[in-house]
Amino acid sequence: MISRRDFLSRIASASAATTFGLAGSEAFAADAWHAGYHSAAKQNPWLLAYRSPEREHFQAEVPVEGQWPKSLNGVLYRNGPAQHDVGDFRYRHWFDGDGLVQRFEVKDGRLFHVGRMVQTAKRTREQNLGRAALPAFGSTPPDGVGVTKADDLNPANISMLWHHQRLLALWEAGSPHEISAEDLTTVGVHSFSSETAGLPFSAHPRVEPDGTLWNFGYASGSGRIVLWHLDPDGRVEKLKALPVGPTSMPHDFIVTGRYVVLLLAPLHRESDRSTDRGFLGLHQWHPDLPTRVLVIDKNRFEVVRELELPAQWIFHFGNGFDDGNGVIRFDAARHANPDVMFNTLSDVMRGRWTPSEHARWYEYTLDLNKGRATETLALDSSLGVEFPTVNGSEIGIPHQRVVMLSGDASRESRPGDLSQVSCWNRATGKLGIYRYPDDHMAEEHLLVSDPSAEVGQGGWIVGTALDCARQATCLSVFAADRLADGPLAQATLPYALPLGLHGTFVPKTTNG
CATH number for position 52: 2.130.10.10
Domain count for the chain, please give it.
1
**Using 50, 70 and 90 to split pLDDT, how confident is the model at 8?**
low
* Cβ atoms 267, 283 nearer than 8 A: yes
- Cα 92 off chain centre by: 18
The pLDDT value given to residue 6:
55
pLDDT at position 221: 80
Q: Residue 446: in which H helix or E strand, if any?
A: strand 440-448
Mean confidence (pLDDT) of the chain? 92
- Measured CA to CA, the distance from residue 106 to residue 356 in angstroms comes to 37
Report the alpha-carbon distance of residue 384 to residue 407 in Å, rounded: 5
Split at pLDDT 50, 70, 90, the class of 111 is very high
Q: How far is residue 424's CA from residue 437's CA, in Å, rounded to a whole number?
A: 21
pLDDT band at 9 (very low <50, low <70, confident <90, very high): low
Percent of the chain with pLDDT over 90: 84
CA 88/CA 52 separation, integer angstroms: 12
Q: What average pLDDT score do residues 48-56 get?
A: 96
pLDDT value for 30: 62
DSSP 359: B
Question: Containing domain of residue 380, as a range?
Answer: 4-511
Task: Label residue 5 by pLDDT band (50, 70, 90).
Answer: low
Please state, in angstroms and rounded to a whole number, the distance separating the CA atoms of residues 278 and 493. Answer: 35
In 3-state terms, what secondary structure has residue 129?
A: helix
Residue 70's contacts (CB-CB under 8 Å, 6 or more residues apart) are none
Report the candidate in 52, 13, 385 with the shortest Cα–Cα distance to residue 221.
Answer: 13
What residues does 255 pair with on adjacent strands? Answer: 260
| Structural element, H or E, at residue 492 | strand 489-492
Residue 1: what pLDDT?
38
Count helices and strands in the chain by DSSP H and E runs: 6, 35
Give me the pLDDT at residue 102, please: 98
The CA distance from 364 to 256, in Å, is: 13
The yes-or-no verdict on residue 309 having pLDDT over 90 is yes
The tens digit of pLDDT for each residue in 393-415 reads 999 999 999 999 999 988 777 88
Q: Is the pLDDT of residue 43 over 50?
A: yes
Q: Pick the more confident residue, 83 or 18.
A: 83
DSSP 8-state assignment for residue 126: H
Rounded to an integer, the average pLDDT of 148-161 is: 96
pLDDT digits (tens, 9 = 90+) for 174-197: 999 999 999 999 999 999 999 999
- At 481-497, the pLDDT tens digits run 999 999 999 999 999 99
Cα separation, 58 vs 23, whole angstroms: 38
pTM of the entire predicted model:
0.95
pLDDT in tens, 233-258: 999 999 999 999 988 899 999 999 99
